[in-house]
């Protein structure tokens, strides 16, 4: 009888000890850092993706996935010489805005190709004329800013065709020749999300070493008006290495090689749209067209530099 009681006591005690050891068990700590962390909810720099997954052929096509409508802007508007707003008609939600200015003695039509091309990929774009065809780069920078202000004001107007379409915190600028110099000057401030100077021309001192705006310079190899060696290339080099930047030189291109259309249309569309998508829309799907070895194999490109990965 005594042995039976002792046996029962031993079993009960063993059960209690096992239970206690189970509660006091210390698990193996997780590795630091966790190799498979749970994704954090997006707090800042969230993307604004729009449109299908891009491919080279998609970007090189004559237009993107959206139909484009236009609004004429009178020359009597304050701050610049009038122009045209190009906007997508079959998509919703707020979009980035881009202003584009021509060069010395050049009309709006010289850069107009870019308007529908960018708008068809989901941007509200204004191509402008200048107050005077002889305005210098500093003035063209100011006019680019005024054009962006105008587009934003139209988006804020309940009677405008682009009412509610523009995200005022996501804006870009482009310009050709002296307009490219103007785009670089505007990029030296804190306003822009992205800039693309086209065959930029600028003389004298400049603030390009202050540029933090992601900037792609598109240059023309045989440019006799703004020679690459004294304009586009040193401008690119002056932009800090810490800034997201790229330099694309078009093989055998003359001064107007970056204005669009013709044999360069597919190339310009792919890189121009990709740059604006990556930095205005924060859409990393387009990084593949800006970084990597593909540029070297393109006979239309004579030189390409970058600070990838963006």
Backbone angles phi, psi at 306, to 5 degrees: -160, 170
The answer to whether the CB of 245 falls within 8 A of the CB of 306 is yes
Report CA dihedral (263, 267, 268, 270) to the nearest 10 degrees.
Answer: 140
The answer to whether the CB of 99 falls within 8 A of the CB of 168 is no
The answer to whether the CB of 189 falls within 8 A of the CB of 211 is no
Taking alpha carbons only, the member of 219, 212, 215 closest to residue 177 is 219
The answer to whether the CB of 82 falls within 8 A of the CB of 99 is no
Q: Where are the beta strands (DSSP E) in 64-152?
A: 68-73, 83-88, 95-101, 124-128
Write out the H or E segment, with its range, that includes residue 250: strand 245-250
Percent composition of the chain: helix, strand, coil (DSSP 3-state, to 5): 35, 20, 50
209 burial class (0-12, 13-18, 19+ CB within 10 angstroms)? exposed
Question: Among all residues, which ones are annotated catalytic?
Answer: 177, 223, 255
Planar angle of CA 292, 221, 269, nearest 5 degrees: 55
């Amino acid at each position: 009888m005594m042995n039976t009681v002792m046996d029962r006591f031993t079993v009960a005690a063993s059960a209690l000890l096992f239970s206690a050891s189970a509660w006091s068990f210390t698990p193996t700590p997780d590795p630091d850092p966790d190799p498979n962390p749970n994704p954090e909810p997006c707090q800042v720099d969230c993307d604004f993706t729009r449109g299908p997954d891009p491919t080279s052929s998609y970007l090189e096509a004559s237009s993107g996935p959206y139909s484009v409508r236009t609004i004429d802007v009178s020359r009597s508007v304050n701050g610049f010489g009038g122009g045209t707003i190009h906007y997508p008609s079959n998509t919703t939600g707020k979009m980035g805005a881009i202003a584009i200015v021509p060069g010395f003695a050049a009309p709006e039509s010289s850069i107009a190709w870019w308007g529908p091309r960018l708008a068809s990929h989901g941007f509200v774009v204004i191509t402008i004329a200048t107050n005077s065809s002889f305005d210098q780069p500093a003035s063209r920078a100011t006019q680019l800013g005024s054009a962006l202000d105008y587009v934003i004001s139209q988006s804020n107007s309940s009677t405008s065709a682009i009412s509610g379409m523009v995200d005022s915190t996501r804006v870009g600028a482009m310009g050709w020749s002296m307009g490219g110099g103007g785009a670089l000057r505007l990029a030296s401030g804190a306003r822009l999300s992205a800039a693309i100077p086209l065959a930029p021309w600028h003389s004298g001192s400049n603030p390009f070493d202050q540029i933090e705006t992601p900037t792609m310079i598109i240059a023309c190899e045989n440019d006799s008006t703004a020679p690459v060696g004294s304009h586009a290339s040193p401008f690119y080099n002056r932009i800090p290495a810490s800034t997201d930047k790229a330099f694309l030189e078009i093989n055998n291109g003359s001064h107007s090689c970056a204005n669009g259309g013709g044999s360069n249309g597919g190339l310009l569309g792919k890189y121009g749209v990709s740059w604006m998508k990556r930095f205005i829309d924060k859409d990393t799907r387009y990084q593949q067209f800006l970084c990597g070895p593909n540029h070297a194999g393109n006979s239309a490109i004579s030189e390409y530099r970058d600070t990838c990965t963006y």
